[in-house]
Amino acid sequence: MTTGRPADGAGTRGGAGILEGIRVLDFSHQLSGPYATMILGDMGATVIKVESPGRGDGIRYEGRIAPEVGSHFFWGVNRNKRSITLDLKHPEGLAVALRLARSCDIVVENFRPGVMDKLGLSYEAVRAVNPDVVYLSITAFGAEGPMAQRPGMDLILQAVTGVMGITGEANDRPPVKIGPPIMDMSTALYGVAAMLLALFHRERTGQGQKADISMLDCGVSLMAAQATALLMGTGKEGRFGSGHPNLAPYQAYRDSRGAHFIVACLTNTFWRRLCARLGLGELVDDPRFADMGARSRHKDELNAVLEPIFAGRPADEWVELLAQEDIPCARVNMPSEALALDQLARNGMVGEMTHPAAGVHKVVASPLHVSPPPRLERDAPMLGEHTGEILREFGYTDDEIEGLRSAGAV
DSSP string for residues in 334-354: -HHHHHT-HHHHHTT-EEEEE
DSSP string for residues in 81-138: -EEEE--TTSHHHHHHHHHHHHT-SEEEE-SPTTHHHHHT-SHHHHHHH-TT-EEEEE
> Taking a C-beta distance cutoff of 8 angstroms, is the pair 184, 154 a contact?
yes
Q: Is the dihedral of CA 103, 108, 114, 116 positive or negative?
A: negative
The helix (H) or strand (E) run that includes residue 210 is strand 209-214
- CA contacts within 13 A on the Cβ side of 307: 10
> Taking a C-beta distance cutoff of 8 angstroms, is the pair 385, 82 a contact?
yes
What are the beta bridge partners of residue 23?
46
CA distance 163 to 318: 31
Give the residue among 291, 202, 215, 299 at the shortest CA–CA distance from 253.
299
> Taking a C-beta distance cutoff of 8 angstroms, is the pair 134, 208 a contact?
yes
Question: Strands 134-139, 70-71: parallel, antiparallel or unpaired by DSSP?
Answer: unpaired
Catalytic residue among 26, 57, 184, 255: 184
Give the residue among 189, 1, 212 at the shortest CA–CA distance from 109.
212
Own/partner contacts of 330-333, CB < 8 Å, gap of 24 or more, are: 330/261, 330/262, 331/259, 331/260, 331/261, 331/262, 332/252, 332/259, 332/260, 332/261, 332/262
For this structure, is 291 an active site residue? no
DSSP string for residues in 235-280: ---S--TTSBTTBSSEEEEE-TTS-EEEEE--SHHHHHHHHHHHT-
Write out the catalytic residue numbers: 184
